[in-house]
Structure 1
Amino acid sequence: MNNPGNPAQGKVEAQAPLSGTRSKLSLISVLIGTSVVVLDSGLVNIALPTLARQYDIDPGRAVWIVIAHQLVTAMLIIPAAGIGRRFGQRDTYLAGLFLVLLGAVGCLLAPNFAALLLARAIQGAGTAAIVALGMALVRSSYSGPQLAVMLGWYAMSVAVSNAAAPVFGGVLLATLGWRWIFAIAILPALISATLMLAGPQNRRHRDETLDLPGFLFSAMAMAAFMLSVDRVSTSPQWAIVGMAVFATSGVLFIRRQKTAFFPALYIKAFENRRFSWAVTTSFLSFAAATMTLIGCVFLVEVGRGMSALETSLILCLWPIGTAVTAPISGRLTGRFAPGRISSTGLGLFAIGAGLVAMLPSDFSAIDLAWRVGLCGLGFGLYQSPNNLEMLSAVPREHSGTAAAILACTRTMAMSFGASLAGMLLASGDPGVVAYKVISLGCLTSLLAILASEQR
């Protein structure tokens, strides 16, 4: 456990900071690139009904615009980290930006639904490189307290993008039309690429070969997991088959990593107690956040009958709260043990979720709003220290591994949380069952606190 009397315990290793003008340009590029892909996901979610009408398809098919992107992203996160190690993280990140740009142009010009799906898949491949290597690039340029602060800025950029997406998407659809949902990413992506080109080049391991079998097993495992959890409620038999494929692929991947001369992933990272418990905490916390957020949506729209606009205005307080505390959390990590700060943030989140779960059925918008804001404040306080623990627990040259595992963990946890929420909501009146979903989110966050305290 963390010792509150010893702030140095659990801190990032003491290394000389590598920051300079070129490193700052690289950081800004990562913040912009990350904001682009996060904003893109939010904007497309808002535009799904419009896109369904535009291409004359039913809403069930339209959802594949999102699924295709998420599936390809999940499948390619670990391969992107391995390619980044072989050819350089900066150049691989730039390739990801290029694919995001190419996909955005493809979406903009897509003549039919099939072409749109292909363009979204291309964007998903680019997004995988950005989420797998963004934090690794920050880690390669900063260390110690500076790294903690920069991770706080990283978390803030994600939160601001999440908060802006619903409002920004509505404005674009109402004024400029659906094509701007995709076109809006082009200029920021170009700016991000220009800044990254001016940033420092990191080491390439050209003497190493790509672990293609490892890439294949990891992609199969992630695809099987994503598809199976999505089918738990509607096709349980296929979900069981999918989980069997996931387990088999996962075992084959781990065995490959233990025997490969140049493995896709630095599997020894899990031998580090700080790293393993930080990963566990991350999974539980993102599952808890997903369940709580989905529960709040149904509580507001179905339970209280509020409009989609009212719902978005209330729930945007979550990412706003995260944006407020994330940079503060980064600075606190330079003074206190990261694990203790993470636990405190998760405690605030659990209190907020618990208070939401105890709301009466006739609650007002304000009653819910400040509780949702408290969840966001707590989650923002938690994220940066936990990410720091993961990144600093492995050698700098393997930072891509830590960033990729973090991205995979977050993706799997959100899918798992959404699946559990969906199963509960299908068991009764969604407006009533939403309270149970939020309660489960609160309970899961308490488990995350226990995991956080083990390091």
Structure 2
Amino acid sequence: MNSTNRPLPAADDGLPMPARLWAVVAVLLGSFLGTLDSSIANIALPSIAADLGSTPAAAVWVVNGYQLATAVALLPLAALGERFGAKPLYLVGTLIFTLASLLCALAPDLGWLVAARVLQGLGGACASVVGGVLMRAVFPARMLGRGIALFGLTVAVSTAVGPSVAAGILLVADWRWLFAVNLPLGIVALLMAQHFLPASTPQHRPFDTLGTLFNAAGIVLLVLGVDALGHAPALGLAEVAAGLAILALLLRQQRAQPHPLVPMDLLRIPLFSLSVVTSICSYTAQTVAYVSLPFFLQHGLGYDAVRTGLLITPWPLVIVLAAPLSGYLSDRYPAGILSSIGLGCLAAGLLALALLPAAPADWDIVWRMVLCGVGFGFFQTPNNRAILTSGPPSRTGAANGMMAQARLLGTTLGAAVVALGFGLFGSDGATVPLLLAAAAFAAGGAAASLGRLAA
């Protein structure tokens, strides 16, 4: 390690080896943990609900709380990262994430667990916000593309192995160990980041407090409203309306800000805004399936957690395999074509899952999962490339923030839709309606993607 025990300054052309290698491992480890924990809890939700004596609809908030906290915090944290520097924000976020993992493992009831997951989501958001910035400081300019690719691949791999990791842990231990395993990894990431990440140069710029409050209130009310529609329709509609009204106020308030939280200049570009809408729809579709399928496989078909994890794994695993090919094709064909084809495949796969026979063989489930994974894999890379390149190079950081925000809004909305479905139909009867809803979101994303061909 760095013998001086001081942060290494970033060179004009990145860090020298081997410091660059260790810095990259530190950044990717933090990103890996944050993304892994956003998906690993899905498999354990039925076990958590049974162990803590909660309903499936309430247990969904173990996922929803994490996603909601991350979605609310992402844009304000991006502003704080510019104000105080990327390295300090990464260190604080990793510390919060690690401590919150301990609280999750010790949770005596569902309320405690959801609160700890909210705190964990805040910590995980820090790595999402500053990961790309740190990779840019670590890698030489001529190798920056490799660094960004590594960052994206880490997110994809952590999502892919999440179900299998969860299944393996649940095979030998209870669900609390899903969170306890973060403790040694979080400590390692913290120590490596402290020693090897380059020092940050803060920018003295004002923080948009009012915009932050509008952002938080609008997103929270919107998600709570969707969740409440299943058991209190009048309250749910009021919360949705209030959330949309506050988000409209946010957009109006942002126009007058010299340093807005929301990149209004980029959203005025049709290719950028349509790509963001496409991303939100696709991640909503994927999350609805990811969260609802474990309940169907375990409650509806009687599978154990290990078998459930193995049957879901082909979906994210195929995403990892399809991503390099879609990246190659994205240099030659418009995102409007590739992403539309991918989301069409995803919609078809989700529809096929909704039409599963009453007693399906494992292969009946696996080929449908593969079709969904191929579709999502072909959508993801071209769409992300369109978001990052549709604006000027000087706005790449803001585009990266909106890309992450779109992903998190989609996953948060997806978890809320599942809670709504469980409230309306019960966990045993909600699978088909939820998968049909997921297919509709994927089809909507494909339609938005096609709109880019005329943009």
Is the structural similarity TM-score above 0.5? Answer: yes
Aligned pair partner of 1:271 in 268, 271, 285? 268
Partner of 2:197: 199
Q: Is the Cα contact below 8 Å between 2:68 and 2:220 reproduced in 1? A: yes
Larger displacement relative to structure 2 (194-203 or 293-302): 293-302
Larger displacement relative to structure 2 (296-305 or 252-261): 296-305
Q: Per-residue CA shift, 1:280-313, capped at 9, x if unaligned?
A: 2112222333345567557656776655544432
Q: Is the Cα contact below 8 Å between 2:227 and 2:420 reproduced in 1? A: no
Partner of 1:162: 159
For 2:316 and 2:132, how far apart are their aligned partners in 1?
19
For 1:278 and 1:346, how far apart are their aligned partners in 2?
13
For residue 433 of structure 1, report the CA deviation from its aligned partner.
4.2
For 1:139 and 1:390, how far apart are their aligned partners in 2?
18
Partner of 1:453: 453
Partner of 1:121: 118
For 1:384 and 1:102, how far apart are their aligned partners in 2?
33
Q: Is the Cα contact below 8 Å between 2:164 and 2:313 reproduced in 1? A: no
Partner of 1:389: 386
Answer yes or no: is 1:436 the counterpart of 2:400: no
How many residues in Structure 1 have an aligned counterpart in Structure 2? 439
Q: Is the Cα contact below 8 Å between 2:322 and 2:377 reproduced in 1? A: yes
For residue 36 of structure 1, report the CA deviation from its aligned partner.
0.5
Residue aligned with 1:205, SS: coil
For residue 159 of structure 1, report the CA deviation from its aligned partner.
3.4
> Where in structure 2 are the equivalents of 1:14-163 lying within 5 Å?
21=17, 25-48=22-45, 51=48, 62-109=59-106, 116-138=113-135, 150-163=147-160
Answer yes or no: is 1:232 the counterpart of 2:215: no
Larger displacement relative to structure 2 (269-278 or 314-323): 269-278
For 2:44 and 2:419, how far apart are their aligned partners in 1?
22
Partner of 2:311: 314
For residue 355 of structure 1, report the CA deviation from its aligned partner.
4.7
For 1:291 and 1:118, how far apart are their aligned partners in 2?
22
Q: Is the Cα contact below 8 Å between 2:336 and 2:451 reproduced in 1? A: no
For residue 49 of structure 1, report the CA deviation from its aligned partner.
5.4
Normalising by structure 1, report the TM-score.
0.81
For residue 333 of structure 1, report the CA deviation from its aligned partner.
4.0
For residue 174 of structure 1, report the CA deviation from its aligned partner.
4.4
For 2:432 and 2:56, how far apart are their aligned partners in 1?
25
For residue 279 of structure 1, report the CA deviation from its aligned partner.
0.6
Sort the Cα spacing of 1:300 and 1:454 in 2 relative to 1 into closer, same or farther, 3 A: farther
Larger displacement relative to structure 2 (18-27 or 252-261): 18-27
The residue type paired with residue 167 of structure 1 is: S
Give aligned-pair identity as a percent: 30
The residue type paired with residue 436 of structure 1 is: L
Residue aligned with 2:281, SS: helix
Sort the Cα spacing of 1:221 and 1:388 in 2 relative to 1 into closer, same or farther, 3 A: same
Q: Is the Cα contact below 8 Å between 2:341 and 2:375 reproduced in 1? A: yes
For 1:154 and 1:364, how far apart are their aligned partners in 2?
36
Partner of 1:261: 258
Partner of 1:370: 367
Larger displacement relative to structure 2 (131-140 or 253-262): 131-140
Residue aligned with 2:255, SS: helix
Answer yes or no: is 1:404 the counterpart of 2:401: yes
Sort the Cα spacing of 1:357 and 1:54 in 2 relative to 1 into closer, same or farther, 3 A: closer
Q: Is the Cα contact below 8 Å between 1:282 and 1:448 reproduced in 2? A: no
The residue type paired with residue 317 of structure 1 is: P
The residue type paired with residue 204 of structure 1 is: P
For residue 261 of structure 1, report the CA deviation from its aligned partner.
3.0
Q: Is the Cα contact below 8 Å between 1:285 and 1:448 reproduced in 2? A: no
Q: Is the Cα contact below 8 Å between 2:43 and 2:294 reproduced in 1? A: no
For 1:85 and 1:301, how far apart are their aligned partners in 2?
45
The residue type paired with residue 253 of structure 1 is: L
Larger displacement relative to structure 2 (374-383 or 419-428): 419-428
For 2:297 and 2:106, how far apart are their aligned partners in 1?
37
Q: Is the Cα contact below 8 Å between 1:284 and 1:444 reproduced in 2? A: yes
For 1:346 and 1:162, how far apart are their aligned partners in 2?
18
Normalising by structure 2, report the TM-score.
0.81
Q: Is the Cα contact below 8 Å between 2:315 and 2:372 reproduced in 1? A: yes
Give unpaired runs (5+ residues) of structure 2: 1-11
Q: Is the Cα contact below 8 Å between 2:49 and 2:56 reproduced in 1? A: yes
Larger displacement relative to structure 2 (233-242 or 434-443): 434-443
Answer yes or no: is 1:185 the counterpart of 2:179: no
Q: Per-residue CA shift, 1:172-221, capped at 9, x if unaligned?
A: 34434444322211232233334444234454212x11111111111111
For 1:296 and 1:59, how far apart are their aligned partners in 2?
12
For 2:408 and 2:160, how far apart are their aligned partners in 1?
19
Q: Is the Cα contact below 8 Å between 1:221 and 1:246 reproduced in 2? A: yes
For 1:290 and 1:340, how far apart are their aligned partners in 2?
23
For 1:55 and 1:300, how far apart are their aligned partners in 2?
20
Sort the Cα spacing of 1:88 and 1:170 in 2 relative to 1 into closer, same or farther, 3 A: same
Larger displacement relative to structure 2 (328-337 or 250-259): 328-337
Residue aligned with 1:391, SS: helix
Larger displacement relative to structure 2 (150-159 or 28-37): 150-159
The residue type paired with residue 443 of structure 1 is: A
Q: Is the Cα contact below 8 Å between 1:69 and 1:123 reproduced in 2? A: yes
Q: Per-residue CA shift, 1:60-119, capped at 9, x if unaligned?
A: 665544444333222211111110111122321222111112212333455776655543
For 1:57 and 1:446, how far apart are their aligned partners in 2?
37
Answer yes or no: is 1:216 the counterpart of 2:239: no
For residue 388 of structure 1, report the CA deviation from its aligned partner.
2.4
For 2:347 and 2:145, how far apart are their aligned partners in 1?
24
Answer yes or no: is 1:416 the counterpart of 2:413: yes
Larger displacement relative to structure 2 (168-177 or 368-377): 168-177
